[in-house]
């Protein structure tokens, strides 16, 4: 009986010694990690392991978020802390056989942030006062009075039929169908043709069996 007690005590002693040796090694590892400036870490010591883990991870998440905010200050970024879980590491040890110590850390290089593509805002095309008046015309029979009005105001530079359309100079076109309805008002340049009614790129050949009158402003 005494021999059994002795063996049991020796076994417990060896187990305790082994645990203490492990804790000492982990403690040394933690102290070394704390000196590494490439890491972000947090730790907690509690009587219950789950409480130590909870507190250490809460503090860890806070520190990582603060580091991201300071490092990318002023940048438009998106950061999801849940995505770094696979990169974080954790160490556990006992202190005085009474408390659990949890140490959580991550390498800063493992923290990835996303920069969303900048939103490209389309520049809204604005019509000038004269162009706003052009798009109100709806009939072929209103074109001649409008041209004469421009001429009387000294704004008209030239006008004519489509076959005499200037190739490289800025001009405007009224496109009308057989019923005399103005179906498009275009701004024609050497580089593009803009439909002033739709504010989209257009081309005269889209309007088959239609006539066109062009004019230029001074």
Query: Is 123 a domain residue?
Result: no
Residue of 210, 209, 159, 208 lying closest to 188 (CA atoms):
159
Domain count, the chain: 2
Contacts of 144 (CB under 8 A, 6+ apart): none
Query: Is 13 a domain residue?
Result: yes
Query: Is 115 a domain residue?
Result: no
For residues 36-61, average pLDDT = 95
Query: Is 209 a domain residue?
Result: yes
Question: Do 137 and 93 sit in the same domain of this protein?
Answer: no
Mean pLDDT of the chain: 85
Q: Is 90 exceeded by the pLDDT of residue 24?
A: no
User: Cα–Cα distance between 137 and 171 in angstroms, integer?
Assistant: 17
Q: Highest mean pLDDT: which of 71-75, 120-124, 184-188?
A: 184-188
Task: Give the model's confidence band at 125: pLDDT under 50 very low, under 70 low, under 90 confident, else very high.
Answer: confident
Question: Do 135 and 95 sit in the same domain of this protein?
Answer: no
Query: Is 77 a domain residue?
Result: yes
Which of 81-85, 100-104, 158-162 is the least confident region?
81-85
Which of 70-74, 139-143, 147-151, 204-208 is the least confident region?
70-74
Which of 30-38's residues contact partners 24+ apart within 8 Å by CB, and which partners?
30/91, 30/93, 30/101, 30/103, 33/103, 33/105, 38/107, 38/108, 38/109
């Amino acid at each position: 009986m005494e021999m059994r007690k002795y063996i049991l005590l020796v076994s417990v002693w060896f187990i305790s010694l082994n645990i203490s040796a492990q804790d000492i090694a982990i403690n040394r590892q933690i102290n070394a990690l704390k000196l590494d400036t490439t890491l972000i870490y947090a730790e907690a010591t509690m009587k219950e392991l789950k409480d130590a883990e909870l507190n250490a991870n809460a503090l860890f998440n806070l520190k990582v978020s603060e580091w991201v905010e300071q490092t990318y200050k002023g940048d438009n970024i998106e950061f999801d802390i849940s995505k770094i879980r696979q990169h974080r590491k954790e160490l556990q040890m006992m202190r005085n056989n009474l408390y659990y110590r949890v140490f959580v850390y991550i390498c800063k290089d493992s923290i990835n942030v996303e920069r969303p593509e900048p939103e490209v805002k389309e520049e809204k095309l604005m019509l000038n006062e004269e162009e706003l008046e052009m798009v109100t015309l709806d009939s072929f029979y209103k074109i001649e009075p409008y041209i004469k009005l421009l001429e009387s105001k000294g704004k008209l530079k030239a006008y004519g039929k489509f076959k005499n359309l200037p190739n490289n100079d800025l001009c405007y076109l009224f496109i009308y169908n057989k019923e005399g309805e103005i179906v498009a008002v275009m701004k024609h340049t050497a580089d593009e043709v803009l439909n002033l009614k739709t504010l989209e790129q257009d081309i005269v050949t889209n309007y088959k069996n239609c006539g066109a009158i062009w004019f230029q402003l001074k």
